Amino acid sequence: MNILEKIKTNYSASMNEMTVAAYLEECKKDPKMYAKPAERILDAIGEPEVLDTRQDPKLSRIFSNKKIKIYPAFRDFYGMESTIEQIVSYFRHSAQGLEEKKQILYLMGPVGGGKSSLAEKLKHLMQQHPIYVLKAGDEVSPVFESPLGLFADYTDELEEEYSIPSRYIPSCMSPWASKRLREFDGDVNRFKVIRMFPSIQEQIAISKTEPGDENNQDISTLVGKVDIRRLAEFQQSDPDAYSYTGGLCLANQGLLEFVEMFKAPIKVLNPLLTATQEKNYKGTEPIGAIPFDGIILAHSNESEWAKFLNDKKNEAFLDRIYKVQVPYVLRVSEEIKIYEKLIRESSLREAPCAPKTIELLAEFSVMSRLKEPENSSIYSKMRVYNGETLRETDPNAKSIQEYRDDAGINEGMQGISTRFAFKILSKVFNFDSEEIAANPVHLLYVLEQEVIKMMLPPETETKYLHLIKSVLASKYAEFISDEIQKAYIESYSSYGQNIFEKYVVYADHWMQNNDYRDPDSGEIFDRSILNEELEKIEKPAGIANPKDFRSEVTNFFLRYKANHGGQSPRWDSYEKIKNVIEKKIFTNTEDLLPVVSFNVKSNEEDEKKHRDFTRRMRDRGYTDKQIRILVDWFMRVRKTMA
């Protein structure tokens, strides 16, 4: 079936019509025929995948060995596991008929934190399952009401005869249906039931309301108003003279999104109270109550919430809110996934992006959102939040729980937004007029300029510039130094393997408190000499706890040999010792500068080495222009690294 046929088929399938009697008979067999909005959206979300974080060392540190639920429908919402679980809990409890069914789902978070994206996802999920709507003649109920509303006064009989629980029966029928029932002399069989799919485009059971001007906005944005064009035919109190165009009218049996809800005057919000508690509301004209059986989803930022919260007059409204905080992502690995997704969805997906560019931006974004820790660096806190263990490299680093306890519940509610970060990334890709590509040097420059342009409070600006100039630039200088060194050395595998195996032998004898006789020279190393030799390897990498590190590496080596028939592991197969050995290999950068620089070479040998160097840098993911830019930057800053 091609796309044109699919559209036609789906449209035809959505408009099935039946009698009320046939609908009630179907209700006997299939409870989905009268399912509440929360039940339908839960079904659309689907069953979660349960992830046992004990199986992953990184995740076990982040989630304290708990089992977490991953919902396929929200797979692209990275780093929001807690937020999504709270949202799903709201729908689950509402579907069970608990207090949540009478409450407004309210997402509170900073700008660009994902509130609108979550709202859009929920609206799209609401479109997946059909609703059943009352129809009279050729006219569909203007408030998309359930056929069960006709039986609001006969709940016991309906439950006894058709097994439909009374909590599924609407509180009342609409004024429109009431008028038709009178015209039909109470003959319910003259109504029809139509199967429809909620639609964002057609505003069928899904609508969106935004706050207007405080001076002219009134409740009609929610409840509708009289249609003055019909007053020539009907009285003002006639249901057919009413225009059911308010958000609550259109969102019945579905979802109403209220954007920046607390920017609206309280008088505009009052109809939401009766709509949530009594499942009906009054219009602006003297017509009957209008049923509402839907979900109200609202969102705004923290300042609007705080302002509303501090007004004592709003207590009744606050009691009807189910608040879910939507903070910024605080894990670098998840922030990177967000940027990669945004790039994939743009024309930049084929553009070259030098290694570390996106990671540096994610690190800056996350650090800007973190509360400054006491007696620890913010860079270490960021890494701990990302599930890394810093026991060997930073003895002052705390556990993730200590950092969280110190930060409080509002961490992640301030800082650089993902939206701002992606605008930075867009400028970096387009920084060079000759090449659409991104590299960390341009990123650091653009970031600094944009932070200055933001005109932030002095304290915040100082913090951000410190992160860029001192933390990120320093870490990137170390990274690009390693990149250049690795590309310069043609082959260091055998050298690295020799260091690795010698380290394990020395460490094993040191821990056993045994002397070691060198098989080549016959020289005997006592424990103090062994310690000196081990420190020569460890110190360049800044190992903070050598005893534990030696034990860990030795145990890894011996276990590997035992499980692989006596074969030794490769020196780069264990990340911790690999990093240490690389630091040992690349302790001197001066020898490589004449080769890696783009100055005229004094001999053919250096020229050949330079060509080999640039080739290996290209293999590592850099364009020719990026290689020149990064090498020039490295040569400028290398002196500050000494």
As to burial, measured by CB atoms within 10 angstroms (0-12 exposed, 13-18 middle, 19+ buried), residue 140 is middle
Beta bridge partners of 52: 67
C-alpha span between 639 and 510 (Å, rounded): 37
Is the predicted pLDDT of residue 359 greater than 70, yes or no?
yes
Which of 334-343, 463-472, 610-619 is predicted with the least confidence, judged by mean pLDDT?
610-619
What's the pLDDT tens digit per position in 12-27? 555 588 999 999 999 9
Is pLDDT of 642 > 80?
no
541: helix, strand or coil: helix
> How far is 507 from 512, CA to CA, in rounded Å?
9
* Backbone dihedral angles phi then psi of residue 34, each to the nearest 5 degrees: -130, 25
pLDDT score of 380 more than 70:
yes
Average pLDDT over residues 171-199: 93
From the centroid of its chain, how far is CA 134?
Answer: 39
Q: Is the pLDDT of residue 422 over 60?
A: yes
The bridge status of strand 139-140 relative to strand 17-19 is unpaired
How confident is the model over 610-619, as a mean pLDDT?
87
**Residue 588 pLDDT more than 60?**
no
The full length of the chain comes to 642
User: What is the C-alpha to C-alpha distance for residues 112 and 527, in angstroms, rounded to an integer?
Assistant: 58
Q: How many CB atoms lie within 10 A of CB 530?
A: 22
**pLDDT tens string 431-481:** 988 889 999 999 999 999 999 999 999 999 999 999 999 999 999 998 998
Question: Percent of the chain, pLDDT > 90?
Answer: 57
Q: Provide the pLDDT confidence category of residue 268 given band limits of 50, 70 and 90.
A: confident
Q: Are 258 and 247 in contact (CB under 8 A)?
A: yes
Q: Is 248 exposed, middle or buried (0-12, 13-18, 19+ CB in 10 A)?
A: buried
Q: Is the pLDDT of residue 214 over 90?
A: no
Nearest alpha carbon to residue 45 among 2, 22, 75: 75
Who has greater pLDDT, 338 or 481?
338
Q: Classify 79 as helix, strand or coil.
A: coil
- What is the structure's pLDDT at 31? 92
Q: What is the DSSP letter of 601?
A: P
322, HSE (Cβ side, Cα atoms, 13 Å): 22
pLDDT value at 383 more than 90: yes
Contacts of 551 (CB under 8 A, 6+ apart): 507, 511
Q: In 3D, which of 332, 354, 383 has the Cα closest to residue 442?
A: 354
Burial class of 556 by CB neighbour count within 10 A (0 to 12, 13 to 18, 19+): middle
**Per-residue pLDDT at 640 exceeds 90:** no
Paired tokens of 64: 């304290």
Where is 92: in which H helix or E strand? helix 81-95
Give the pLDDT band of residue 574 (cuts 50, 70, 90).
confident
| Per-residue DSSP letter, 105 | E
DSSP track, 10-25:
HHHHHT-EEEHHHHHH
pLDDT at residue 575, as a whole number: 82
* Least confident segment among 119-133, 262-276, 339-353, 359-373: 262-276
| Average pLDDT rounded to a whole number, residues 370-383 | 92
Paired residues of 524 in beta bridges: 517
Distance between CA atoms of residues 296 and 247, nearest Å: 10
Mean pLDDT of the chain: 88
Can you tell me which residue has the tokens 């394990």?
Answer: 504
Mean pLDDT within 307-325 = 87
132 and 23 in contact (C-beta within 8 Å)? yes
Give the pLDDT band of residue 592 (cuts 50, 70, 90).
Answer: low
Is residue 322 helix, strand or coil?
strand
Give the closest residue to 284 by CA, choosing from 220, 212, 338: 220
Helix (H, G, I), strand (E, B) or coil at 456: coil
Q: How far apart are CA 15 and CA 635, in angstroms?
A: 70
Q: Which residues pair with 69 in a beta bridge?
A: 50
Q: Which domains does the chain have, with CATH numbers?
A: 34-129+197-325 (3.40.50.300)
Q: What is the mean pLDDT of residues 586-603?
A: 69
What number is the average pLDDT over the span 414-421? 93
pLDDT tens sequence across 58-100 = 999 999 899 999 999 999 999 999 999 999 999 999 999 999 9
Higher pLDDT, 212 or 338: 338
Q: What is the SS3 assignment for 241-298?
A: HEECCCHHHHCCCCEEEEECHHHCCHHHHHHHHHHHHCCEECCCCCCCCEECCCEEEE
Cα separation, 620 vs 352, whole angstroms = 12
**Structural contact between residues 369 and 347, judged by C-beta atoms closer than 8 angstroms:** no
Q: Is the pLDDT of residue 535 over 80?
A: yes
Listed in sequence order, the residues at least 6 apart from 560 whose beta carbon sits closer than 8 Å to its beta carbon are: 567, 568, 569, 573
pLDDT at position 252, please? 95
Name the β-bridge partners of 259.
Answer: 299
